Amino acid sequence: MTIREKILVIEDEKSISHFISTILNSNGYEAMQARSGSEALSMISSHCPDLVILDLGLPDMDGLDILRQLREWSSLPVVVVSARSHERDKVQALDLGADDYLTKPFGTDELLARVRTAIRHTRTASGNDQIAQKGTYTVGELTIDYNKHQALVRGENVKLTLSEFRIVALLGKYAGKVLTYDFIIKELWGPRAGGDNQILRVNMANIRRKIEKNPAEPEYLFTEVGVGYRLAEGE
């Protein structure tokens, strides 16, 4: 299998676009560069990339608009790049269908990890290979058993309540991806559940106490401050 996955880097800053492409090319991907929104849209339809890295601050159009247009006809994975202080943009982008985000400035490992996760999640229908094949998801000493509706730590059932299990199950299905508070709440309590995320916080706190050795030093359930939660990825 020598076909390299094509990644389109949409970024107007030449130096940033250049370094992202260099990293991707030297790690077995084929990187293409687009400098503007209009160029990006035409390149997406003509080159059919496997993944798009999209900077939200483009000169000719809003990155969120590109995402919106793209999502009308494609489920192509999109990793959004934005500056630190704009976590509202991040949340909005994720809720609009972006697969993940990178905060500027980011390191090489972070970039590659996000790219890997995003590409993997589009390959399998259920979002996660492991679950599709075995009905379980394992990371470190944590196993989520989707058939028995249990979470096990070092083989022992940690006795989650129903809604606690549903949260963990959801995070496991999208392991490695950040899920926004809104997304989790809507998936769990329906689209009409209010924007209040206190119930979610309390549930997460309880889950951490059952799963993590030290709730303040999580190994599995990570908080993306101001955005949402992410479950550690296996392997």
Coil vs helix vs strand at 69? helix
132 or 205: CB nearest another protein: 205
Residue 125 CA from chain centroid, whole number: 15
Q: How far is the CB of 113 from another protein (least distance, A)?
A: 12
DSSP codes of every residue in 33-48: EE-SHHHHHHHHHHH-
Interacting residue with another protein among 59, 84, 154, 192 (CB under 8 A): 84
Interface of this chain with another protein, residues 104 to 123, rule: CB under 8 A? 105
Residue 104 pairs in a beta bridge with: 83
Check binding of 140 to another protein (CB under 8 A). no
Interacting residue with another protein among 24, 98, 179, 204 (CB under 8 A): 204
DSSP codes of every residue in 79-135: EEEEETT-HHHHHHHHHTT--EEEEES--HHHHHHHHHHHHHHHHSTTS-HHHHHHS
189 or 222: CB nearest another protein: 222
Distance from C-alpha of 35 to C-alpha of 121, rounded to nearest angstrom: 27
Q: How far is the CB of 66 from another protein (least distance, A)?
A: 25
51 or 171: CB nearest another protein: 171
Q: Is the peptide bond before 105 cis (omega within 30 degrees of 0)?
A: yes
Distance from C-alpha of 171 to C-alpha of 235, rounded to nearest angstrom: 16
Check binding of 92 to another protein (CB under 8 A). no
Nearest to 210 by CA among 151, 143, 147, 126: 151
Interacting residue with another protein among 49, 63, 77, 218 (CB under 8 A): 218
Check binding of 202 to another protein (CB under 8 A). yes
Q: How far is the CB of 81 from another protein (least distance, A)?
A: 15
Distance from C-alpha of 29 to C-alpha of 207, rounded to nearest angstrom: 37
Interacting residue with another protein among 112, 136, 223, 233 (CB under 8 A): 223
Q: Stretches 8-16, 49-57, 132-140, 209-217: which one binds another protein (CB under 8 A)? A: 209-217
Footprint on this chain of another protein (rule: CB under 8 A): 84-85, 87, 105, 198, 201-202, 204-205, 208-209, 214-218, 222-226
